Amino acid sequence: MAVSVVVTKRSLNILTDNGVDAQGKAVTKAYAFSNVKPEAAPEQIAAAGAALGGLFARDVAGITLSEKAELIAE
């Protein structure tokens, strides 16, 4: 049985560096941008994340992509 994966939802997450807490651990804040087109190339998503990250007052600690997908048996 063959199974196809169809991406149904994507979210771009930008993590910013918000300093350290009382114990000295790094504190980050996540900003989520939903409705990323399923057909968007990873390079395009990374470029958009970098451009959006440049708008924040804090340094960008990371850019992630979350996906939800449907498995379809063929």
Kindly state the tokens that stand for 52.
Answer: 């959006």
Kindly tell me the sign of the dihedral angle through the C-alpha atoms of 63, 48, 53, 36: negative
Between the CA of residue 51 and those of 5, 47, 54, 58, 72, what are the distances in Å?
A: 29, 6, 5, 13, 35
Mean local confidence (pLDDT), 42-46 = 94
d(CA 16, CA 19): 9
pTM of the predicted structure, to 2 decimals: 0.77
Domain limits at 54? 3-73
Count structural domains, the chain: 1
Q: Evaluate if residue 39 carries a pLDDT over 90.
A: no
Least confident of 12-16, 37-41, 67-71: 37-41
